[in-house]
Structures are given as structure tokens and as C-alpha cells.
Structure 1
Amino acid sequence: MLVTQFQIQRLSTRQEAEEVSAFMLSDRSFDDTRYTPGELKHFRELPVRALAGDCIIWYARNDEHAIIGINVIAENEQQTGGYNWDYLVVHQDYRKVGVAAGFLDQMYRYLADVRARYIVTYTCDLPEYATIQRMFLRNGFTLIGRCPDYYYEGEDRLIYYRKLV
């Protein structure tokens, strides 16, 4: 089932928003499916918010036209060139075939075009998130903070930063 053919597009229609939401809520997206109530709400509402311009969502489709990944960023509330990177999620069957690298390339090109100054992202400190933690570090991010018990008791939020210009 591993196919290296995929296409990345920016979310722009209500139909795409519904498909992205369904992908985020599927059992083949995130490894840790013990979602917080806020995450569930976010997965349902975030794609619609992208249509309103509150964030940018790119999604990848395979040859069968199924969504196999998403990437989400938004300019921070200060609107001074800082960006928040909320999600990079690749379908479990399509990892390690270049989808994440394609999203990173698309994201960094966009951030360069808008002259973004920096990007901040975060993840959980549980072992299920070790892969994304390593990816952040490989891509020039620095761990700048930890918020204890952020998600649930014993699950800290790790905060990463990368200066862009």
C-alpha cells in the first residue's frame, strides 16, 4: 500500500474541510488517540476556520484521492510575523515516503514568501511523540519550554521554536 505518489494542496472548499476533519478524527492519523475534549472540538472546527482565513491547512491526497496527511499553521495573534505550527499529521500507512518532507517544503516556501520571522510549535512529552520531537530538532527547532500536566496529569507540553530570519 505504500505509494510515493501524492499531491499537496491548500484547503479551499467546504468539502475539503469536511474531509480534513474526518481524517483528523480517523484512527489512522494520530498515534495517540486519547484526545482531550478541546482537541476533538479543534479537529471539527479547525478546517472550517481555515476557510475563514484563521489558519492555513495543506493536505495531501494519494492516487485514490484519499487524504493521507495534513499540515496546519497560523500567524500568531500579534500579527508581527510569528507563526504557530499546530499539526503535521501523516496517515500511518504513508509515513516515511516523503509526505512530511513535502509539507515542510510547502510550509517553508510559504513562510519565506510572507517573510515570517519565526515559527513556534509544540507536542506532548509521551513516548508516542518521540518521532515528531526528533523531527523538530532535525529541522532546526530548539526546545524552549515545558508546561507540566498540560494535556492530562503527567502529560507535559513541549514547546519548540525556530527563528526564520
Structure 2
Amino acid sequence: MYNLYGYLCNYPIYILEDIEMAIKAAQFFTRKDSFGTYLTRGELENAHIHPVESLGDEKSRYWYVLDGDEMIACAGVKEAEHKNGIFLGTFNSIKKEYRGNGIGEKLLQITIEFVKNSEGRGLLIDTSDKESYCTIRCLLKKIGFQQVGRFPDYYEAGEDALWYYLNI
């Protein structure tokens, strides 16, 4: 049932490989407190669909972290629709009380490794300009991502999308 990827501190990190955990990942992403702001209608739809769709796609992957039986973090990536070696970060969320322990950085490193092993050329991640997303923006810059775009009022009026890119 669980495909162990490795550990971070005492927390096991697993590769999402079955429908039961894909559904749990979708539920995890769509909780009201999973992100710093509410998800748009389209993001909610994708959060419900993509973890399940990823199961049959070798260029798509999710990883999750458990504390006992509780999912405390989950992250995903997929190849862009152009199928040109550019990958997109799909969703990345850590339960609030587990943030600041290196889980997000480890999941991001695992994601980058997956893109490299999939012969990817780059990784594009979008995030919000809201203050509640400051930690992920700082982490992306620390790892070497460059901000390559800003889209005013993208998510909703007053909330811009920021795009970060890492050349692999």
C-alpha cells in the first residue's frame, strides 16, 4: 500500500501510487487551511482530479508525508501540456503546525530530482503574492528559482500570481 521514498527526521515520505492515497491527497489539498488563501474554483477542481490522474502518468508524481496515519504534507509535479521537458509544480501543502521543519524544502528537492530523472529541462511553480506565501517564495529563491512572471489580479482582485522557474 505504501511505497516508502525516504525519511525526513522521523517522518516517512511516500510516493503516491494507489487510488486510496490519491483520494486522501485530494482531500488534503482541498481542506480550508491547506493554503494561505482560498483556492479558486479551477484550483479546487484540479486538486480533486490531478492526484488521481497522476497514477497513470510516468511524467507526473506526488509524494506525501505521514505522522502516524495522518497526512501532514503532500506535493506534486507534472509535465506541461506541451510535452517539451518543462514541468509544472501542481500542489504543495504542509499542515500549518508542521511548517518550518524542512518538510517543504525536502519535498521541493525530491520534486527537482524527479524532474531531472525524467529528463526535464525546467520546473515552473506559480504562487501567490500574498504575505501568507512569503515562506514558499523565499524557499524557491534559496534553491535557485528565478521569478519570471507576475500576473496582476490572477487569482482574484488584489491577488497576483508570481511565476518562479528553475532551469534544470
What is the TM-score with the length of structure 2 in the denominator? Answer: 0.87
C-alpha offsets along residues 113-136 of structure 1, whole Å, 9 cap, x if unaligned?
Answer: 222111111111111111111111
Partner of 1:57: 62
Q: 2:81 aligns with which of 64, 77, 86?
A: 77
Question: For residue 151 of structure 2, what is the aligned residue in structure 1?
Answer: 147
Show structure 2 runs of 5+ residues with no match.
Answer: 1-7
Offset of residue 150 of structure 1: 0.7
RMSD: 1.7
C-alpha contact (below 8 Å) 2:47/2:91 kept by paired residues: no
Please state if 1:67 is matched with 2:100.
Answer: no
Runs of 5+ consecutive residues of structure 1 not aligned to the other structure? none
2:50 matched to 1:46? yes
Identity of aligned residues (%): 27
**Deviation of residue 49 (structure 1)?**
1.3
Question: Is 1:98 aligned to 2:117, yes or no?
Answer: no
Q: Is the Cα contact below 8 Å between 1:29 and 1:69 reproduced in 2?
A: no
* Most deviating of 65-74 and 105-114: 105-114
SS in 2 for 1:115: coil
TM-score by length of 1: 0.89
The residue that corresponds to 2:19 in the other structure is: 14
Whether 2:129 is the aligned partner of 1:125: answer yes
Moved >6 Å (runs of 4+)? none
Structure with greater strand percent? 2
Letter paired with 1:8? I
